[in-house]
Amino acid sequence: MSRHTDQFLEMLGAAPKKPMEISDEARQITAFKYHDNARFIQEQLQAQAEAASAPSHKWRNWRWATLVAVNLFFVLSYRLDIQLLEGALTASRFAGFHLIDLNAALQVMLAHKHIVINLLIGTLTVFLLWVMLGGRTFCSWVCPYHLFSELAEKAHLALARRGLVTDHAFHRGARTVFWALFALLALATGYTVFETLSPTGILSRALIYGPGLALGWVFLLLVFEVFWSRRAWCRYICPIGLTYGVVGSVSPLRVSFRLEPCLHEGDCRKVCLVPHVLDVTIKGRAAEANTALGPDCTRCGLCVDVCKNGALRYEIKGIS
Amino acid sequence: MNAPDGKPGKPRSPASSEKARRARRVFMRSTGLAAAVLGISLSGYLPIVGGRALRLRPPGALDEADFLASCIKCGQCVQVCPVGAIRLGDIDDGFGIGTPYIDARAQACDFSCDVAQCILACPTGALTYHKPPFLPVRAGMALSSPPTLKAGAQVPGAILNLKERVGLARLAHPGRCLAVQGKGFTGPARGNAFKGKMRYLDVDRWKPIPLRDHPYERALCDLCVTECPIADAIAMESFAGEGGERHFRPVVREQCVGCGVCEMVCPVEPAAMTIEARAMWRRVEQ
């Protein structure tokens, strides 16, 4: 099977595979890298020390600024009556053009079984937008729950370091099961069942139209993530992430991995929401000199920030 | 799901059986998670079957089940309403979370936007002028002709293309009605603390003002009749009392769309006139 197919299956929950065959180029790079093993280890330690002493937050800061700006744009557009971006993240109108969240659109189409033209236009517009911008880029650069969840993750990791909590992992395939379940429920019941729970929709509406009881549910989710399971909602449940992941599988914008400068310290996998996409950074797992990360990657840039050797970077297929 | 990695033909090492145990634990835990999330999400049914959330929907809303199916919960209808009549359901509305409704007593839809902006704003057709052909019209919900806005009297053809009502006004408590009691009314309809707004043609054609800034003086209270934005939807009728004396009462007509203005302006507390959400037209006992 092609690497593309493998990466897609990994997004659905399959365990990452070791490559069947490794290209000559990759083999040469590896041989050259470990030619002087003492020096390699020395460099590895140096890189780790550098990453720890002078952490970079360049992409994270850009991303947080973008996430806040997008959500603030919604809020101010309504509160100040600018009418430039009307609606919420589930559906909106930018300067009159319909924008519809792909997962919300899917739920409505399945539940209602009727598609009005504006719904179709808005869905196609957003589909093209995220094909260009990288699918799950929506998750890390726009979704308000992602930001709160990142903060909860920091709390979780701080507690875990002190041995107060441990991460209870679930099977990643659960998200695929949830995606199918919520689609079937919408189809069978005629209600957009998932929207009742969606912290993305709840938070977006709460920011724009004012808080409500639903925030209690979001709070419970965050508590669950702090004390029980790291990033549980985004990793194991949220069908929005999978919907955008599928879109991202055909996107030219992604993070790519270059084997040559990599020292295999593994810091990137520690900060990653979806570490299976970084399986390629493990020693001996890269089949090519340059590998694009799989569609489940949210293009959040935490690995780009943490990698001091420039092995991980943003790439636009056909341009970079 | 996570099959143990033990190679066939070899006896299992302690490490691989530990791995298998861990995989089994993760699987059980994941099943538990699926059950929990499914249970929680289906609890959204409860407010629906309990009929607890019998909400008055904005004009042009599809029948409740279709409305809940098609509403994408974005609140664009909220944003365009000039009087801020539309609110969004919370999580205690279950599947109705994020869907628009109108609390008519607090703020009714007075059609001061003239065209039902909320319908034009709706991206999914949950609020619509043109119901898709496969959705039947419930008997008693159809309006015999498109309702005419009183405000449009100057502008010929200013009709709302509404084909169905979203509710029906009813003189639920005739005993409280000032007109029935033969009483007049003076002052702001709902007191000075009331925040509700309405558009008054004689004040400002375009800008709604708070009710409290527009006091009334009526020898016989007829606010529900005069303030109704729809032509021929409600009228004051006289009837003979037991002793042959003349009495009055407001009578709702078939053109009523259920906007709720009569409920909002009704000066008695609680209101004599109320909107029944999703109620069908019937020749009432009134």
Local confidence band at A265 (pLDDT 50, 70, 90 cut-offs)? confident
Would the pLDDT of B52 be above 90? no
- Which residues of chain B lie closer than 8 angstroms to A197, CB-CB? 37, 40-41, 44
Alpha helices (H) in B210-267, listed in sequence order: 223-227, 261-265
User: In the prediction, which pLDDT does B144 show?
Assistant: 86
Instruction: Tell me which of B78 and B240 has the higher pLDDT.
Output: B78
Q: How far is A40 from chain B (nearest CA, A)?
A: 31
- Which residues of chain A lie closer than 8 angstroms to B95, CB-CB? 191-193, 195-196
Q: What is the mean pLDDT of chain B?
A: 89
Residue B234 pairs with which residues in a beta bridge?
Answer: B252
Helix, strand, coil content of chain B in percent (nearest 5):
30, 15, 55
Would the pLDDT of B9 be above 80? no
B50 touches chain A (CB under 8 A): no
- Which residues of chain A lie closer than 8 angstroms to B75, CB-CB? 87-88, 205, 208-209
* DSSP state letters, A2-67: -HHHHHHHHHHTPPPPPPSS--HHHHHHHHHHTTTHHHHHHHHHHHHHHHHHS---HHHHHHHHHH
B30 falls within a domain: no
User: In the prediction, which pLDDT does A274 show?
Assistant: 96
A233 touches chain B (CB under 8 A): no
Q: A258: which 2 tokens? A: 């270059």
- Which residues of chain A lie closer than 8 angstroms to B132, CB-CB? 114, 116
Looking at A301-315, B140-154, B199-213, which range is the least confident one? B140-154
User: In the prediction, which pLDDT does B16 show?
Assistant: 82
What is the C-alpha to C-alpha distance for residues B109 and B82, in angstroms, rounded to an integer? 9
CB-CB under 8 Å, A88 with B30: no
Local confidence band at B283 (pLDDT 50, 70, 90 cut-offs)? low
Q: Among all chains, which residue has been given the structure tokens 């600024």?
A: A65
- Which residues of chain A lie closer than 8 angstroms to B92, CB-CB? 213
User: In the prediction, which pLDDT does A293 show?
Assistant: 95
- Which residues of chain B lie closer than 8 angstroms to A216, CB-CB? 91
Would the pLDDT of A180 be above 50? yes
Contact (Cβ atoms closer than 8 angstroms) between residue B19 and residue B5: yes
Preferred mutation among B33, B87, B120, B135 to probe A, highest tally of A CBs within 10 A: B33
Please report the residues numbered 118 through 157 in chain B whose beta carbons come closer than 8 angstroms to any beta carbon of chain A.
Answer: 121, 123-125, 128, 132, 134
- Portion of chain A with pLDDT greater than 90, in percent: 84
- Per residue in A74-128, pLDDT (tens digit) is 999 999 999 899 999 999 999 999 999 999 999 999 999 999 999 999 999 999 9
B35 touches chain A (CB under 8 A): no
- Which residues of chain A lie closer than 8 angstroms to B37, CB-CB? 178, 197, 237
User: In the prediction, which pLDDT does A143 show?
Assistant: 97
Local confidence band at A36 (pLDDT 50, 70, 90 cut-offs)? confident
User: In the prediction, which pLDDT does A49 show?
Assistant: 84
User: In the prediction, which pLDDT does B151 show?
Assistant: 84
User: In the prediction, which pLDDT does B272 show?
Assistant: 97
B36 touches chain A (CB under 8 A): no
Residue A113: name the closest of B42, B130, B132 by CA. B132
User: In the prediction, which pLDDT does B11 show?
Assistant: 60
B83 falls within a domain: yes
User: In the prediction, which pLDDT does B2 show?
Assistant: 44
Instruction: Please name the residue of chain B whose CA is at the shortest distance from the CA of residue A77.
Output: B79
User: In the prediction, which pLDDT does A70 show?
Assistant: 97
B165 falls within a domain: yes
To 5 degrees, how large is the angle CA B217–CA B221–CA B227?
Answer: 85
Instruction: Please name the residue of chain B whose CA is at the shortest distance from the CA of residue A91.
Output: B74
Local confidence band at B54 (pLDDT 50, 70, 90 cut-offs)? confident
Q: How far is B67 from chain A (nearest CA, A)?
A: 8
Please report the residues numbered 51 through 90 in chain A whose beta carbons come closer than 8 angstroms to any beta carbon of chain B.
Answer: 78, 83, 86-88, 90
- Per residue in B126-162, pLDDT (tens digit) is 999 999 999 988 888 999 888 989 887 766 667 888 9
What is the C-alpha to C-alpha distance for residues A193 and B39, in angstroms, rounded to an integer? 11
- Which residues of chain A lie closer than 8 angstroms to B40, CB-CB? 197
Q: A96: which 2 tokens? A: 């009159």
B136 falls within a domain: yes
Contact (Cβ atoms closer than 8 angstroms) between residue A210 and residue A270: no
Would the pLDDT of B123 be above 90? yes
CB-CB under 8 Å, B88 with A168: no
A192 touches chain B (CB under 8 A): yes
Instruction: Please name the residue of chain B whose CA is at the shortest distance from the CA of residue A12.
Output: B1
Would the pLDDT of A56 be above 80? yes
B16 touches chain A (CB under 8 A): no
User: In the prediction, which pLDDT does A304 show?
Assistant: 96
Q: What is the mean pLDDT of residues A135-158?
A: 97
- Which residues of chain B lie closer than 8 angstroms to A177, CB-CB? 34
For A99, B112, B148, B268, the CA distances from B59, given in Å and listed in that order, are 23, 13, 14, 26
Q: B249: which 2 tokens? A: 């009462």
Q: How many domains does chain B have?
A: 1
Would the pLDDT of B1 be above 50? no
For A56, A68, A207, A269, A302, the CA distances from A62, given in Å and listed in that order, are 12, 10, 21, 21, 11
Q: What is the mean pLDDT of residues B164-178?
A: 94
User: In the prediction, which pLDDT does B128 show?
Assistant: 95
Most confident of A137-151, A250-264, B39-53: A137-151
- Please state the pTM of the whole predicted model: 0.92
Would the pLDDT of B231 be above 80? yes
User: In the prediction, which pLDDT does A55 show?
Assistant: 86
B238 falls within a domain: yes
Local confidence band at B8 (pLDDT 50, 70, 90 cut-offs)? low
Q: What is the mean pLDDT of chain A?
A: 94
Local confidence band at A171 (pLDDT 50, 70, 90 cut-offs)? very high
Range of the domain at B253: 50-277
Q: What is the mean pLDDT of residues A281-305?
A: 94
Return the number of other C-beta atoms located less than 10 Å from residue B106's C-beta. 16
B39 falls within a domain: no
- Portion of chain B with pLDDT greater than 90, in percent: 69
Preferred mutation among A82, A107, A118, A171 to probe B, highest tally of B CBs within 10 A: A171
Looking at A68-82, A122-136, A294-308, B242-256, which range is the least confident one? B242-256
B28 falls within a domain: no
Preferred mutation among A73, A114, A193 to probe B, highest tally of B CBs within 10 A: A114
The counts of H helices and E strands in chain B are 7, 10
What is the C-alpha to C-alpha distance for residues B163 and A205, in angstroms, rounded to an integer? 30
B212 falls within a domain: yes
